[in-house]
């Protein structure tokens, strides 16, 4: 006997719409059903009615947090269609803004995980320091979140000496703070007890369920689009692909912290080695007939865009696969108790948050089905989180 717990359709962890039905046996989760499709924005269809330039701000709004990854992927895709290469300086600026966006996304996620386990002090520190990188993004692009820097044929704003100086200053603060967070994450008992051994995803299962990004890398598999299939200036900017083989949420936390440090180094390298020259070439409004695929390593994983052009100034078909869709199925594995590995109801929030889900680039209440009492009930996300904290308070 078991009982079903529906989480969603209003999104777990990030207040976006999604539905999970958990089958539970007492305190243990024994099965998960993921139901997607609550968030239909109609962006792909809308793109077919707008021209290529008008589509850039639209693509940017697929995901607010990883907006740079989406615009970069889109612009690259159209440039592939044209068969033109963009100036080298523009490619370096693209890497800088992409890595700044990754730092901002990872710091945000670290705060969210800390919040999910009830460690709100850590959450507030990370989010305060995230302001540093947000201000730098604002300085470079004119806006804190929606950067709108990438455009077809290059980038829209240049980096002058003053901005480069301020970027380097900002990187110093961020590096010092991120190193401190790493120290807290590895030593703080609150985090360790809640994250270690939770949400296990073995390398074999990670590949089977096609996990991407930090989720895959925390299972010990070296896979990163920036290294495997370099785009923009990534062929010239050195960096380490971070992997951890602990396969749990703690591994995912460490992967993201280390990636933040790598990104900081990458921004510095770019600022030191950026070539001079133009930042943009003008391309015709209508690309030639054809199809193209572009891949970008977004903060959450691999982002894939497909375009089909019929020679007019509007795309005939545009398809986006956001990284969360790749990671979502691996949740089935992480949240199913098997043999000695058991998942408690109280661990659900942190495992869900662990993949850094972005459901609106993908769905929020939880439905529980009890196997023993044949009972079904629904909890909101806040109720589940409260329950989770109560259980861990008692166990102290």
Partner 1 sequence: MKKVNEVNSYMAMTFEALRHILKKRATILYPFKEREKVHVPKGFRGELVFYLDKCIGCASCFKVCPSETIEIIYDGQKRRPIFYLDRCTRCQQCEEICPTHAIELTDNFETVGFDRKEKIVK
- To partner 1, the closest distance from the beta carbon of 222 in angstroms equals 31
Instruction: Compare residues 265 and 313 and give the one whose CB is closer to partner 1.
Output: 313
- 156 near partner 1, rule: CB under 8 A: yes
Span of 180-188, 196-204, 234-242, 373-381 interacting with partner 1 by CB under 8 A: 180-188
- To partner 1, the closest distance from the beta carbon of 121 in angstroms equals 7
Cβ atoms 304, 295 nearer than 8 A: yes
Nearest to 253 by CA among 333, 343, 168, 188: 188
Residue of the chain from 48, 85, 131, 235 that contacts partner 1 (CB under 8 A): 131
Instruction: Compare residues 194 and 367 and give the one whose CB is closer to partner 1.
Output: 194
Cβ atoms 279, 305 nearer than 8 A: no
- 390 near partner 1, rule: CB under 8 A: no
- 128 near partner 1, rule: CB under 8 A: yes
- To partner 1, the closest distance from the beta carbon of 285 in angstroms equals 8
Q: Where are the beta strands (DSSP E) in the chain?
A: 2-7, 19-25, 28-35, 150-151, 154-155, 290-298, 301-309, 315-321, 365-371, 375-380
Span of 34-42, 185-193, 330-338, 382-390 interacting with partner 1 by CB under 8 A: 185-193
Residue of the chain from 54, 240, 310, 312 that contacts partner 1 (CB under 8 A): 54
Cβ atoms 131, 111 nearer than 8 A: no
Span of 128-136, 207-215, 364-372, 384-392 interacting with partner 1 by CB under 8 A: 128-136
Instruction: Compare residues 155 and 350 and give the one whose CB is closer to partner 1.
Output: 155
- To partner 1, the closest distance from the beta carbon of 128 in angstroms equals 5
Instruction: Compare residues 156 and 344 and give the one whose CB is closer to partner 1.
Output: 156
Instruction: Compare residues 183 and 310 and give the one whose CB is closer to partner 1.
Output: 183
The Cα 303–Cα 367 span in angstroms is 30
- 221 near partner 1, rule: CB under 8 A: no
Q: Which residue, chain included where needed, has tokens 């609150």? A: 190
DSSP type of residue 12? T
Residues 275-314 that bind partner 1 (CB under 8 A): none
Q: Which residue, chain included where needed, has tokens 């999604």? A: 18
Contacts of 273 (CB under 8 A, 6+ apart): 92, 236, 237
Total chain residues near partner 1 (CB under 8 A): 27
- To partner 1, the closest distance from the beta carbon of 214 in angstroms equals 24
- To partner 1, the closest distance from the beta carbon of 58 in angstroms equals 6
x/- mask, partner 1, residues 187-216, rule CB under 8 A, reads: xxx---------------------------
Instruction: Compare residues 152 and 171 and give the one whose CB is closer to partner 1.
Output: 152
Nearest to 296 by CA among 134, 138, 63, 114: 63
Span of 2-10, 186-194, 327-335, 384-392 interacting with partner 1 by CB under 8 A: 186-194
Bridge-based pairing of strands 375-380 and 365-371 is antiparallel
Q: What are the CA-CA distances from residue 130 to residues 66, 175, 274 (Å)? A: 15, 12, 25
Nearest to 389 by CA among 120, 24, 200, 188: 120
Cβ atoms 324, 357 nearer than 8 A: yes
- 51 near partner 1, rule: CB under 8 A: yes
Rg (CA), the chain: 21
The Cα 134–Cα 270 span in angstroms is 19
State both tokens at 328.
């979502």
Q: Which residues bind partner 1 (CB under 8 A)?
A: 50-51, 53-58, 121, 125, 128, 131, 135, 138-139, 142-143, 146, 148, 156-157, 180, 183-184, 187-189
């Amino acid at each position: 006997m078991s009982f079903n717990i529906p989480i969603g359709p209003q999104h777990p962890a990030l207040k976006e719409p999604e539905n999970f039905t958990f089958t539970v046996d007492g305190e243990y989760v024994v099965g998960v059903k993921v139901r997607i499709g609550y968030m239909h924005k109609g962006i792909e269809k809308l793109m077919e009615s707008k021209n290529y330039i008008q589509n850039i701000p639209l693509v940017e709004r697929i995901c607010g947090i990883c907006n740079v990854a989406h615009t970069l992927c889109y612009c690259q895709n159209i440039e592939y269609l044209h068969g033109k290469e963009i100036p080298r300086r523009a490619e370096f600026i693209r890497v800088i803004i992409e890595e700044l966006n990754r730092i901002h996304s990872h710091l945000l996620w670290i705060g969210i995980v800390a919040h999910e386990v009830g460690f709100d002090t850590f959450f507030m520190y990370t989010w305060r320091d995230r302001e540093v990188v947000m201000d730098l993004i604002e300085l470079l692009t004119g806006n804190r979140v929606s950067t709108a820097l990438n455009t077809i044929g290059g980038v829209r704003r240049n980096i002058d000496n003053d901005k480069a100086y301020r970027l380097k200053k900002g990187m110093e603060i961020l590096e010092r703070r991120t190193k401190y967070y790493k120290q807290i994450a590895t030593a703080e008992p609150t985090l360790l007890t809640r994250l270690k051994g939770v949400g296990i995803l073995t390398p074999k299962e990670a590949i089977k369920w096609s996990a991407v990004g930090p989720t895959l890398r925390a299972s010990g598999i070296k896979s990163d689009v920036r290294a495997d299939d370099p785009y923009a200036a990534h062929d010239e900017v050195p960096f380490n692909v971070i992997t951890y083989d602990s396969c749990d949420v703690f591994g995912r936390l460490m992967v993201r912290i280390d990636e933040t440090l790598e990104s900081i180094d990458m921004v510095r390298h770019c600022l030191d080695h950026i070539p001079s020259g133009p930042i943009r070439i003008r391309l015709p409004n209508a690309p030639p007939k054809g199809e193209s695929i572009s891949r970008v390593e977004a903060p959450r994983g691999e982002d894939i865009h497909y375009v089909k052009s019929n020679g007019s100034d509007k795309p005939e078909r545009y398809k986006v696969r956001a990284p969360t869709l790749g990671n979502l199925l691996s949740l089935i594995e992480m949240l199913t108790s098997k043999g000695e590995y058991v998942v408690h109801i109280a661990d659900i929030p942190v495992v869900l948050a662990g993949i850094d889900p972005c459901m609106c680039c993908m769905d929020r209440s939880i439905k529980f089905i009890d196997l023993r009492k044949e009972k079904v009930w629904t909890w909101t996300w806040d109720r589940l989180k409260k329950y989770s904290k109560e259980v861990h308070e008692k166990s102290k």
